[in-house]
Amino acid sequence: MNKTLLKVTTLVLASASMASAANYIGGSVGSGLSVHYKSDLTDTSAVRYGLNLDALNFNFGQVSVGGTVDYLSDISSQNFGGLSPYYGFGLGAGVGLGSFTGVSIYPHALAGLKYNIVGGPLSVFGEVNAGIRVSVGSGTGVGIGTGVRIGLDYQLP
């Protein structure tokens, strides 16, 4: 009985906190193409789940499909002319075909700027990330990975 009550209480509290959180859908271009879903955890933090399609080396000799989970946090309510800086960290994983065939993981740190467009639920952002890329397959190894992206977020009603 106590376990059931605890589970129900946890579900109610989780759904109440989710109801007050803003949710977003969006996409970005840069080091690859990405679509994502983002959900606010607090007023200053969020988690973003992304699906990535990367065509690397600009000759399309490599294609990889993967996903990322990123934790994002505002930098102490700083605001520079409407630009809000943020930082975060995340984990990406992917499968590559082409000049490299195999799987990789990418733990990384990131920093970015977002700008909320006045009068609407739309915001734009620019972001850089860097971390360690571990690959297993035809080109097994460990190296430094980097990325940049410019994207849009749309707040769901």
Sorting pLDDT into bands at 50, 70 and 90, what band is 15? very low
Contact 85, 113 (CB under 8 A): yes
Instruction: Please tell me the pTM assigned to this model.
Output: 0.79
Is there a domain that residue 125 lies in? Answer: yes
Whole-number Å distance between alpha carbons of 97 and 103: 9
Sorting pLDDT into bands at 50, 70 and 90, what band is 119? low
| Cβ-Cβ contacts under 8 Å for 107 (sequence gap 6 or more) | 89, 90, 91, 92, 131, 132
Sign of CA dihedral 50, 53, 102, 88: negative
Share above pLDDT 90 across residues of the chain, in percent, rounded to a whole number: 57
pLDDT in tens, 26-80: 999 988 899 999 999 998 999 999 999 876 545 567 788 899 999 999 997 667 7
Q: What's the number of domains the chain is made of?
A: 1
pLDDT at 118: 75
Range of the domain at 34: 22-155
Is there a domain that residue 108 lies in? Answer: yes
